[in-house]
Copies of this chain bind each other. A is one copy, B any other.
Amino acid sequence: MPTVERIIADVRESGREAWFYNVNAADPEKRAEVLNDVARRFDERKRDEQLRVLLHSLAFGTLRPFAPFEPGDEVTQKQMDMTCDVMAHSLVYWVQDCVRKKLMSRQGRIYAMTSTGSTQVWKGYGAVSAAKSALESHIRQLAFELGPLGITANAICAGVTDTPALKKIPDSDTMVQVALRKNPSHRLTTPEDVANALVALAQPCTYWLNGNVLYIDGGEGHTG
């Protein structure tokens, strides 16, 4: 939370507003509350504002194996459903609500954070991989349905980034070593690397760049 407060302060210092909601983004009621609040604020300001960028970045999934030697440790139906709901399907519901409430229209940009796990296997990463595969599929479908409205949808595949979420992955040390070896610049990706690219990508002139998985990773993902 101190980090969040620092970022909010940074944003405000630069003369912009920051509205922070600390809720479970996979909870339909919380989603409705947040978007209702955003809609109410927009209404009150009477500036005809809309959401320009929706960035989906939810990491909360099981890391159990599918079919281990030792039964008992394997992923359950409940865990699989939960992982896919939080990490993939929740994107669809947020977009549905934004479109329904007319919070996003022309020049809207939808991004979702995927990973190379969508196409590559990591030990224990099965449910998360499935969620990332589904997430990229959702992005393509949203690109198809919303493109004619001027809203684009693209997935972002960052390189391995040193974040709190990374450290929770069992084999994260190996992932870091592999990334440092593979990345052409032999360094990890930083949140700033991704944010900088999003500044360019979110501009109105990118309206025809739609339905992609964009690797913002310095070339790491395409290296063997």
Contacts and interface: CB of A to CB of B under 8 A. Distances in A.
A138 to B, nearest CB: 6
Given A134-B133, A137-B118, A144-B184, A222 B211 contact: yes
A203 B200 CA distance: 7
Nearest to A193: B208
A52 interface: no
Nearest to A199: B205
A217 to B, nearest CB: 7
> How many copies of this protein are present in the complex?
4
Contact of A80 (B65, B92, B148): B92
B71 A100 contact: yes
Contact of A67 (B81, B136, B145, B211): B145
A26 to B, nearest CB: 10
A51 to B, nearest CB: 14
A221 B178 CA distance: 15
Contacts of A93: 77
A209 to B, nearest CB: 5
Given A141-B121, A222-B211, A66 B96 contact: yes
B77 A28 contact: yes
A210 interface: yes
A10 to B, nearest CB: 18
Contacts of A175: 224
Contacts of A22: none
Nearest to A91: B66
Interface stretch (A1-9, A13-21, A34-42, A122-130): A122-130
Contacts of A148: 184-186
Contacts of A118: 133, 137
Contact of A141 (B66, B200, B212, B216): B66
4 A-B pairs with the lowest CB-CB distances in the bound complex, closest first: A120-B224, A126-B141, A133-B133, A147-B184
Given A67-B146, A126-B138, A147-B218, 11 more contacts: A65-B145, A66-B96, A77-B89, A80-B92, A121-B143, A121-B219, A121-B223, A178-B224, A193-B208, A196-B207, A196-B208
